[in-house]
């Protein structure tokens, strides 16, 4: 890399492209690495960071100023064996310089995500960045842009509530349970049914440190298998991320997350043990009956019993809702919570955009400083050169002490002149004004004219 560089971005995302197009645009790790190598091999190519998730594939490319990024990217994609045309079709969006950075900041802040405020995008961007750093040396703009994106994303997540509140059924189930029991570690959950939805919700409960999880299923083998799988996942810490819920530290985490299968015949007994019941069977008739729940409630001495029936048709008999101390919820309640949370997240967007604007202004300032550096360096070199000549002249005529004093004095003079010039350049109101000033400075003190004038 010899001169200044520019940033170019291409995105194929859920807003622009249907799933089948996004699938074609997807770059796996192997293709991403091949693309990095291909960009590095192209004349004028500096570095590239591809980001590919299920909802988007984005390519952030840094090239030398006088290189056409579109041509270079097309050639590099072809060389990497990736689907090329999709990035140049009507489903793709091309962005340059600050627009590209603004887009990256919005992506990092999850404003561009399909599920507004989802936390996974931050990890996905970091993974893409780490992969890129392993295989190439990103240029200064890409480095700074990604670092700025991580900072922006973090600020948006911590200073706003854009990631707050559950927006999936499984998380909403945990969030609702949390309205009853803050510290889940001292409570028992019962999962009735070993289907996919139930398993997902169970994973979230385990991730949130539920004390005991009982699994009951008509088929004891499936209950046992699911319990074993969950136990193993818990042990290996691979239950998945549940970061959109506040993590409440358990009193004794080592005692939490005990998973046990129970036979179907023990359902009533398991209901009596549980504080949280999650039912997701495929049964056509209710399996949790009023007498079962009444018996359970009798032993609870007023403690609330939280029942969540997300099965269709319902697993819990409708009369259960009338039993004192029982709080029965269904899928429509979870959807209502999700809707409320999404509304709250949308209200946070202006706040998030203010943060992005601040970070973008900082990035813009940095870019301007970067632009200024070569000219300022030339100016400094010119002044230093002038000073050396002057000091040399004095040294011939005067004592070394006098020459040293003149040298110190001129050094101070250069410092002041440079300081004043840089601060004047920084005060430029527009990019054009600044560029004009830089051009003038360059014209007067740049490499070419200097020798002519002296």
Partner 1 sequence: MLAAVTVLRIMLPLLYLATLGMYLWLFFTDHPTARVRCTQMAVVTVIVHTLALVTQTAYLERLPLESPLEFFSSLALALMVTYLVIEQSIRAKNTGFIVVGTAFLLQFLASSFCHTKISNNPLLQQPGFAAHAGLAILAYTALSLSFLYAVLYLILARQLERRSFGLLFRRLPSLEVLERMSIGAIKLALPLLFVALALGHLWMYHLRDAQPALASMLTPWDPKILMTWVIFLGYAGGLAGYRFLGWRGRRMNLLAVFAFLAVLGATGLAHHFFPTFHKFRTASEVIDPRAPRPQATIPDPEGHSGGWGS
Count how many residues are written for the chain.
454
Q: Does 301 bind partner 1 (CB under 8 A)?
A: yes
SS3 content of the chain, % helix, strand, coil (to 5): 60, 15, 30
Clarify whether 54 is annotated catalytic: yes
Q: Does 161 bind partner 1 (CB under 8 A)?
A: yes
Q: Does 329 bind partner 1 (CB under 8 A)?
A: yes
C-beta separation of 158 from 152 below 8 A: no
Q: Does 179 bind partner 1 (CB under 8 A)?
A: yes
Stretch that binds partner 1, among 35-43, 95-103, 250-258, 335-343 (CB under 8 A): 335-343
- In whole angstroms, give the CA distance from residue 92 to residue 424: 41
Among 196, 302, 396, 432, binds partner 1 (CB under 8 A): 302
- In whole angstroms, give the CA distance from residue 151 to residue 130: 16
Among 340, 392, 419, 449, binds partner 1 (CB under 8 A): 340
Q: Does 178 bind partner 1 (CB under 8 A)?
A: yes
Q: Does 354 bind partner 1 (CB under 8 A)?
A: no
Q: At closest approach, how far in Å is the CB of 358 from partner 1?
A: 16
In this complex, which beta carbon is closest to partner 1, that of residue 88 or of residue 180? 180
Q: Does 316 bind partner 1 (CB under 8 A)?
A: no
Q: At closest approach, how far in Å is the CB of 153 from partner 1?
A: 16
Stretch that binds partner 1, among 19-27, 100-108, 337-345, 395-403 (CB under 8 A): 337-345
Stretch that binds partner 1, among 62-70, 252-260, 331-339, 415-423 (CB under 8 A): 331-339
Q: Does 220 bind partner 1 (CB under 8 A)?
A: no
Q: Does 336 bind partner 1 (CB under 8 A)?
A: yes
Dihedral sign (CA 292, 293, 299, 305): positive
Radius of gyration, alpha carbons of the chain: 32
Stretch that binds partner 1, among 90-98, 100-108, 133-141, 159-167 (CB under 8 A): 159-167
User: Where do the H-state alpha helices sit in 260-317?
Assistant: 267-273, 290-298
- In whole angstroms, give the CA distance from residue 62 to residue 51: 14
Q: Does 325 bind partner 1 (CB under 8 A)?
A: yes
Q: Does 273 bind partner 1 (CB under 8 A)?
A: no
Q: Give the single-character DSSP code of 247.
A: P
- In whole angstroms, give the CA distance from residue 272 to residue 294: 9
| Tokens at 322, concatenated | 């009338």
User: Pick the catalytic residue: 54, 298, 361, 377?
Assistant: 54
Q: Does 153 bind partner 1 (CB under 8 A)?
A: no
Q: At closest approach, how far in Å is the CB of 45 from partner 1?
A: 43
Q: Is 195 exposed, middle or buried (0-12, 13-18, 19+ CB in 10 A)?
A: middle
Name residues whose C-beta falls within 8 Å of residue 292's C-beta, 6 or more positions apart in sequence: 267, 268, 271
Name residues whose C-beta falls within 8 Å of residue 375's C-beta, 6 or more positions apart in sequence: 438, 441, 442, 446
Q: At closest approach, how far in Å is the CB of 213 from partner 1?
A: 19
Q: Does 324 bind partner 1 (CB under 8 A)?
A: yes
Number of residues that bind partner 1 (CB under 8 A): 25
Chain position carrying tokens 């028992």: 188
Q: Does 290 bind partner 1 (CB under 8 A)?
A: no
Q: Does 303 bind partner 1 (CB under 8 A)?
A: yes
- In whole angstroms, give the CA distance from residue 66 to residue 249: 55
- In whole angstroms, give the CA distance from residue 369 to residue 372: 5
Q: Which residues here bind partner 1, judged by CB under 8 A?
A: 158-159, 161, 164-165, 178-183, 300-304, 324-325, 327, 329, 333, 336-337, 340, 344
Active site members? 54
């Amino acid at each position: 890399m010899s001169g200044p560089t520019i940033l170019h971005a291409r995105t194929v995302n859920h807003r622009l492209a249907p799933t089948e197009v996004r699938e074609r645009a997807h770059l796996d790790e192997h293709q991403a690495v091949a693309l990095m190598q291909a960009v590095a091999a192209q004349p004028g190519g500096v570095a590239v960071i591809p980001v590919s998730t299920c909802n988007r594939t984005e390519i952030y490319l840094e090239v030398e100023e006088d290189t056409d990024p579109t041509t270079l990217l097309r050639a590099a994609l072809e060389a990497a064996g990736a689907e090329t045309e999709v990035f140049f079709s009507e489903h793709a969006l091309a962005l340059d310089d600050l627009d590209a950075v603004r887009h990256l900041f919005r992506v990092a802040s999850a404003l561009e995500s399909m599920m507004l405020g989802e936390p996974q995008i931050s990890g996905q961007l970091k993974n893409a960045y780490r992969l890129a750093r392993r295989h190439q040396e990103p240029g200064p703009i890409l480095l700074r842009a990604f670092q700025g994106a991580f900072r922006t994303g973090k600020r948006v997540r911590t200073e706003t509530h854009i990631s707050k509140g559950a927006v999936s059924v499984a998380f909403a189930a945990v969030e609702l349970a949390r309205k009853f029991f803050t510290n889940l570690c001292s409570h028992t959950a019962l999962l009735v049914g070993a289907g996919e939805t139930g398993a997902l919700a169970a994973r979230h409960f385990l991730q949130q440190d539920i004390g005991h999880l009982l699994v009951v299923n008509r088929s004891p083998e499936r209950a046992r298998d699911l319990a074993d799988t969950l136990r193993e996942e818990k042990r290996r810490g691979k239950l998945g991320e549940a970061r959109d819920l506040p993590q409440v530290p358990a009193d004794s985490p080592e005692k939490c997350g005990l998973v046990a299968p129970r036979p179907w015949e023990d359902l009533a007994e398991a209901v009596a043990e549980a504080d949280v019941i999650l039912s997701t069977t495929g049964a056509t008739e209710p399996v949790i009956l009023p007498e079962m729940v009444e018996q359970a409630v009798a032993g609870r001495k007023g403690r609330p019993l939280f029942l969540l029936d997300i099965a269709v048709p319902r697993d819990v008999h409708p009369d259960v809702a009338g039993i004192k101390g029982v709080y029965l919820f269904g899928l429509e309640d979870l959807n209502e919570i999700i809707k409320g949370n999404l509304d709250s997240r949308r209200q946070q967007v202006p706040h998030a955009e203010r943060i992005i604007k601040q970070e973008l202004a900082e990035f813009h300032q940095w870019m301007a400083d970067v632009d200024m550096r070569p000219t300022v360096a030339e100016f400094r070199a010119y002044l230093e050169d002038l000073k050396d000549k002057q000091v040399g002249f004095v040294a011939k005529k005067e004592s070394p002490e006098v020459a040293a004093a003149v040298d110190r004095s001129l050094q101070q003079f250069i410092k002041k002149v440079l300081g004043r010039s840089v601060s004047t350049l920084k005060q430029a109101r527009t990019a054009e004004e600044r560029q004009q000033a830089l051009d003038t400075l360059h014209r007067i003190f740049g490499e070419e004219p200097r020798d002519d004038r002296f």
